[in-house]
Structure 1
Amino acid sequence: MAHHKSAKKRIRQTERRTEVNRARISRIRTFVKKVETLIEGGDKTLAAEALRAAEPELMRGVQAGIVHQNTASRKVSRLVARIKSL
């Protein structure tokens, strides 16, 4: 357990940030999962629409430092390729 005032504050900050980051990750996963579900369903127009909603969420994750830029770009690229192949 922390003994210094600054260390205690850091623990509080970390707990708060962890909670926010978990929520952001969950939100991103939800949006991506919607796209994947629609791709499996075979609905190209709805899948493309869902991707347009999911892409900004992924990029917000990049800006927040939760997801790496290359990871987000790779996910978007692969989803676009899957939608095109429908």
Structure 2
Amino acid sequence: MVVIRLSRAGAKGRPFYHIVATDSRNRRDGRYLERLGFYNPVARGQDQPLRIEMERLNYWAGVGAQLSPTVERLVKQSKQAAPAQVAA
């Protein structure tokens, strides 16, 4: 089964996560099918904390990929922030 989940990168104390589509049997930081975006929980200043390629995420969800609870939360957060950016 294909899942969309976070894959950890970055240094100790400075987490950085890639949002990836992968087979559920692969390890967390192992092989993936496609990188769909990133999440930087410690972003400061001009750094972008979250980027998701919604078109590709919708494709994978359309063919049966399951979102992890954390990715689901980040997608909702991204959708709420997007209308505020458009209005500005």
Fold match (TM-score > 0.5): no
TM-score (norm 2): 0.35
| The structure with more helix, counted as a fraction of residues | 1
| The structure with more strand, counted as a fraction of residues | 2
Task: State which structure, 1 or 2, has the greater radius of gyration over its C-alpha atoms.
Answer: 1
TM-score (norm 1): 0.35
